[in-house]
Amino acid sequence: MSTITIGVDVAKNVFSVCEVDGAGRVLRRLDLKRNAFAAWLAQLPAGTVVAMEACSGAHYWARRCLESGLQPRIIAAQLVKPFRKSGRTKNDRADAEAIATAARQGNMRFVSVKDIDQQVRLSDRVATGHAPANRSGASGLEESFDSTSARYGRQSDIRCNTQSTDTHDAIQDNTMTSSGPKAQGKGFMHPGLIGSLLRSS
């Protein structure tokens, strides 16, 4: 099993990575674009701990880690903050190191990795409306995609295919909720449905 711990600051396009050894010394830092990061993960030694701060895309990348035989660790943001050397100054490289340091603490509490079905069900329960109330049609749905797609490991430039039967129905209906009441504002697309569409795409 690897003694290296890796902290990752998950981002939209460029991920900051910090590798620390068993003694907590920084071995190297990397800045990797999304595709390069995915390829880099796949070549890490089995058993390597890869830690991430809890965020919209953390569960997706944690699942990718598991597929490669790695040990993902998701940490709540408030538990990472005390390990940030720069104090109140927040930057990607400092965050990656703080995440790696936090993951090495013996008493650290980690967030359980969710599978995609669990993420969709959670979205169903907590949905409150992610598109602006004054936006309607495809543009409002695109914003819902933007705010939700990262949870499923997709880039945020996904755009609604209004020729898709499911998406077209969502645009026409504007009532996507899990329990019946209409969503607040036109252009709302229930994130649980978004998750289902992303999962099947």
Render pLDDT for 19-62 as a digit per residue (tens, 0 to 9). Answer: 999 999 999 999 999 999 999 999 999 999 999 999 879 999 99
Render pLDDT for 138-156 as a digit per residue (tens, 0 to 9). Answer: 555 555 555 555 555 655 4
CA–CA separation, 110 and 155 (whole Å): 26
Render pLDDT for 62-95 as a digit per residue (tens, 0 to 9). Answer: 999 999 999 999 999 999 999 998 766 678 889 9
CA–CA separation, 108 and 59 (whole Å): 18
Q: Which has more confidence, 59 or 184? A: 59
**What single-letter amino acid sits at 155?**
Q
Q: Judge if pTM exceeds 0.75.
A: no
Reported confidence tier of residue 186, pLDDT bands at 50, 70, 90: very low
Q: Which two tokens stand for residue 65?
A: 């880690």
Q: CA-CA distances (angstroms) from residue 48 to 3, 18, 19, 84, 159?
A: 7, 13, 10, 22, 35
Task: For each of the domains in the chain, give its residue range(s) and CATH number, in order of start.
Answer: 5-103 (3.30.420.10), 116-200 (no CATH)
Q: Which two tokens stand for residue 163?
A: 């020729």
Rounded average pLDDT over 152-172: 47
Reported confidence tier of residue 173, pLDDT bands at 50, 70, 90: very low
| pLDDT of residue 163 exceeding 80 | no
Q: At 28, which helix (H) or strand (E)?
A: strand 26-33
| pLDDT of residue 126 exceeding 90 | no
So what's the pLDDT on residue 38? 95
Whether the Cβ atoms of residue 84 and residue 101 lie closer than 8 Å to each other: no
So what's the pLDDT on residue 191? 55
- DSSP per position, 137-194: HHHHHHHHHHHHHGGGT--TT----TTSHHHHHHHHH----SSSSPPSSTT---HHHH
